[in-house]
Chain A
Amino acid sequence: MITEKGLWNRLRLRLLFTGPTLFAFLAVMIIPFLYGIYLTFTNWDGISTSSSMVGFDNYLSVFKDTVFWKTFLLTLEYVFISVVLINIVAFLLAYILTSGLKGQSIFRAGFFIPNLVGGIVLGFVWQFIFSNVIVFVGKEMSIPLFSNSWLADPTKAFWAMIIVTVWQYAGYMMVIYVAGLMNVPKDILEAASIDGASLWTKMRKMTLPLMVPSFIVCIFLSLQRCFMVYDLNISLTKGGPFKSTEMVSMHVYEKAFLSRDYGVGQAEAFVLFLLVATITIAQVYFSKKLEVEA
């Protein structure tokens, strides 16, 4: 193929293989993305037949929209706590389930299942648990912490979201960690045991450094998913009580579709994209430096 002469001949063959995917990618990702950026310069409301260019006014409104920044900070807090908890729980689960426990593959499947349930359904299931099941149990056994719905209190509703998020993603990340743990060479671990290394030393000096690629992937995935949380937000708390758990994606959505301010909504989405892209790229870039070879 490389030996074929002429630009067209080479291009033709490549287009044959990558063309369809390229077309789909352009049509559903790149063009809407560019069109979205174009919309940020207009004042379109979503239905009217005409709209006018407004320059950078929409971006100015983004910086003036205090609620946007408030929800962004709340999202940051949510992302930070969730990412840490997801990865700790997932790693512990993976560690336990690779230690040769009886029936470990059943447990692995069990912990993975929440990830197969969609966020919306999951939200409704947990809404029922938080506002009915837990309240019922709390009242029967008179535990004050559980006798009122968690979803009715701003702080507890925020933690309810974190609990569900961790429960949802820990299983998925666990699978990646399981794969990572199984790839840690047994021979060096054995050699270390013979040298008298304790379990903790082996973990700290060998397993963890060799698992860095898994950590990078898992932290990246959980970062990105938590930043973009919307389905769980809408179905579990609806942003309530009184907008105290409204995450930034939900705010952007409401700006565009509820307040019918497409331009500002799009601009906020674009700003959010830039912020999230910066954070995740920085994370991948810096943690790549931690990788080691066995």
Chain B
Amino acid sequence: MKSLKWIQAIALMLMVVMIVAACGNKSGGSDKEAAVKITLLNSKGEIQSQLEDAAKAFKEDNPNITVEIIPVPSGQSPFEKASALYASGNPATITMLDTGDVEKFKDRVLDLSGEKWMADTVDRSTALTTFDGKNYAFPLAIEGYGFIYNKAVVDQAVGGTFDPASINTTNALEQLFQKIEASGKAPLIISPMDWSLGAHYLPLAYAGQSADTEAVAKFVNYLKAGTVDLASNNVFNGLLDTFDVMTKYNIDKASPLSGTYERGPEVLGKGEVGIWFQGNWAWPQISSFDTANGQYGFLPVPISNNPSDFGNTQISSAVSKRLVLDKEKNTAEQQAAGKKFLEWMVYSEKGQDFLVNKANIIPAFKNITLEAKDPLAKSISEYIANGKTEDSMSTLPADHWAKIGASMQKYLAGAGDRAVLTKEIQEYWKTVK
């Protein structure tokens, strides 16, 4: 009996030691004095493994800094995960946020205005994260969207080499659809996800109001105030006219809402359809079905029949992901290490290689001259280089995509006409605080 008591006592002690040791992980690794461990919350799921490789490459250059990449679980929004980490007092050193969320975190993250890379950022890439003259976020990736075309299919349809610049009006687009149909293929696929329709397609109506971003911001404010009459707005109606044309030639028009995201890259890549409305992030999925030798590109979404109208030749693009550095719970060393990682991505060869070649990111820095390998990023980069871009709406209210996406689905399925859609959009904006 006595020995049993001993065992119990030892077991208890072991447990206590283990618990204490587990709680005290911050003091671990004390043999290397300068070792710093930082964390990066990644909300761009498709580049998780590339980021992990980048962390290893970064460690080769900076042996005393370990970067751990934490993924945001699929289905959770970056904001949700980041705010949960803050609520538990354990925020990541570097957090990847969507542009519109940065403002909410501005009291908790570092002012990055004094960083070296600020001088090399492309135009307007930090404007949306600058508050009171201070920039709080690192622009990580530019993303763009529009009509992705499969060159093999459209070449065959037009009988020769397809010129993307020829599609600059709704009528021209419809003629292209007719030609594709005549060649025996389906013209296009509309993926009916609420985020695609609500966060990408419909916001073109706001962004297309004017080439001047100030005027667009004003338009959004008028929407909130309820003083915009969308029913008589030309850009809005033009965009929906194009949508009506799209609906007419949609491969899934018998049951427009049954499609899934995965179906889009499959039918486009296999050449069953000529065109898909989506963005450059879809390349990894398209490439796994590719039958056009990697020949794809973007067409703008036309909003009228006048080729010179703004939006008819411009592709929608913007910085979509930003990195912020926590200043509340991370030590000064960790913050410095975080800054070093950002600089490493912009200025080191390995960092640039990671951004452009490994992660297929379109960087927002002028000094990076590496050419994108993937055709979609390349196409977007060309539009940017030619100044043919329209800023995507990246600071819309957080529930805009879900609410407006549902209204757009209703319109797509024919369960509500344009008057219903217009009313729902205007009603939605009135509820925005």
Fill in one digit per residue for A149-172: 1 if any B CB lies within 8 Å of its CB, else 0: 101111000000000000000000
B residues near A135, Cβ cutoff 8 Å: 258
B83 CB-CB contact with A under 8 Å: yes
- Shortest beta-carbon distance, A46 to chain B, in Å? 5
A190 CB-CB contact with B under 8 Å: no
Q: Is there contact, CB below 8 Å, between B258 and A131?
A: yes
Which segment, of B34-42, B372-380, B406-414, faces chain A?
B406-414
- Shortest beta-carbon distance, B289 to chain A, in Å? 17
How far, in whole Å, are A199 and B409 apart by their CA atoms in the complex? 53
- Shortest beta-carbon distance, A112 to chain B, in Å? 27
> Are A254 and B399 CB-contacts (below 8 A) given A149-B255, A240-B406?
yes
Q: Is there contact, CB below 8 Å, between A47 and B257?
A: no
Fill in one digit per residue for A233-253: 1 if any B CB lies within 8 Å of its CB, else 0: 010001111110000000000
- Shortest beta-carbon distance, B260 to chain A, in Å? 7
B398 CB-CB contact with A under 8 Å: yes
Fill in one digit per residue for B222-246: 1 if any A CB lies within 8 Å of its CB, else 0: 0000000000000000000000000
Interface of A is mostly: loop
Q: Is there contact, CB below 8 Å, between B406 and A242?
A: yes
A residues near B107, Cβ cutoff 8 Å: 48-49
The interface centre, meaning the residue of A47, A48, A148, A259 with most chain B CB atoms within 10 A of its CB, is A47
Chain B: CB-nearest residue to A47: B83
B80 CB-CB contact with A under 8 Å: yes
A residues near B83, Cβ cutoff 8 Å: 46-47
Instruction: Find B398's partner among A149, A152, A240, A260 (CB 8 Å cutoff).
Output: A260
Chain A: CB-nearest residue to B398: A260
Q: Is there contact, CB below 8 Å, between B104 and A49?
A: no
Q: Is there contact, CB below 8 Å, between A152 and B256?
A: yes
A38 CB-CB contact with B under 8 Å: no
A258 CB-CB contact with B under 8 Å: yes
Report how many residues on chain A are interfacial, defined by Cβ distance under 8 Å: 25
Q: Is there contact, CB below 8 Å, between A240 and B194?
A: yes
B44 CB-CB contact with A under 8 Å: no
A residues near B206, Cβ cutoff 8 Å: none
Q: Quick one: which of B407-426 are within 8 Å of A by CB?
A: 407, 409-410, 413, 415
Chain B: CB-nearest residue to A151: B258
B residues near A131, Cβ cutoff 8 Å: 258, 260
- Shortest beta-carbon distance, A176 to chain B, in Å? 32
> Are A259 and B86 CB-contacts (below 8 A) given A135-B258, A241-B257, A242-B407?
no
> Are A152 and B257 CB-contacts (below 8 A) given A242-B407, A258-B402?
yes
B residues near A241, Cβ cutoff 8 Å: 257, 409-410, 413
Q: Is there contact, CB below 8 Å, between B402 and A47?
A: no
Q: Quick one: which of A134-192 are within 8 Å of B by CB?
A: 135, 148-149, 151-154
How far, in whole Å, are A257 and B108 apart by their CA atoms in the complex? 19
Q: Quick one: which of B307-357 are within 8 Å of A by CB?
A: none
Chain B: CB-nearest residue to A157: B257
Chain A: CB-nearest residue to B408: A242
The interface centre, meaning the residue of A45, A153, A234, A259 with most chain B CB atoms within 10 A of its CB, is A259
A residues near B255, Cβ cutoff 8 Å: 148-149, 152
B254 CB-CB contact with A under 8 Å: yes
A residues near B108, Cβ cutoff 8 Å: 47, 49
Q: Is there contact, CB below 8 Å, between B254 and A47?
A: no
B residues near A154, Cβ cutoff 8 Å: 415
- Shortest beta-carbon distance, B251 to chain A, in Å? 14
B residues near A45, Cβ cutoff 8 Å: 104
Q: Is there contact, CB below 8 Å, between A48 and B104?
A: yes
B105 CB-CB contact with A under 8 Å: yes
B residues near A240, Cβ cutoff 8 Å: 194, 257, 406, 409
Fill in one digit per residue for A119-143: 1 if any B CB lies within 8 Å of its CB, else 0: 0000000000001000100000000
Query: Which 8 A-B pairs have CB atoms at the shortest separation, nearest pair first?
Result: A149-B258, A152-B257, A148-B255, A152-B258, A242-B409, A242-B406, A259-B399, A242-B410
- Give 22 CB contacts A-B under 8 Å: A47-B82, A47-B86, A49-B107, A49-B108, A131-B258, A148-B254, A149-B255, A149-B257, A151-B257, A152-B413, A153-B257, A234-B75, A240-B194, A241-B257, A242-B409, A257-B80, A258-B402, A259-B397, A259-B398, A260-B79, A260-B104, A260-B399
18 additional A-B pairs beyond A47-B104, A48-B104, A149-B255, beta carbons within 8 Å, are A45-B104, A46-B83, A47-B108, A48-B107, A49-B108, A131-B258, A148-B255, A148-B258, A153-B257, A154-B415, A234-B75, A240-B194, A242-B257, A242-B409, A242-B410, A243-B406, A257-B77, A259-B398
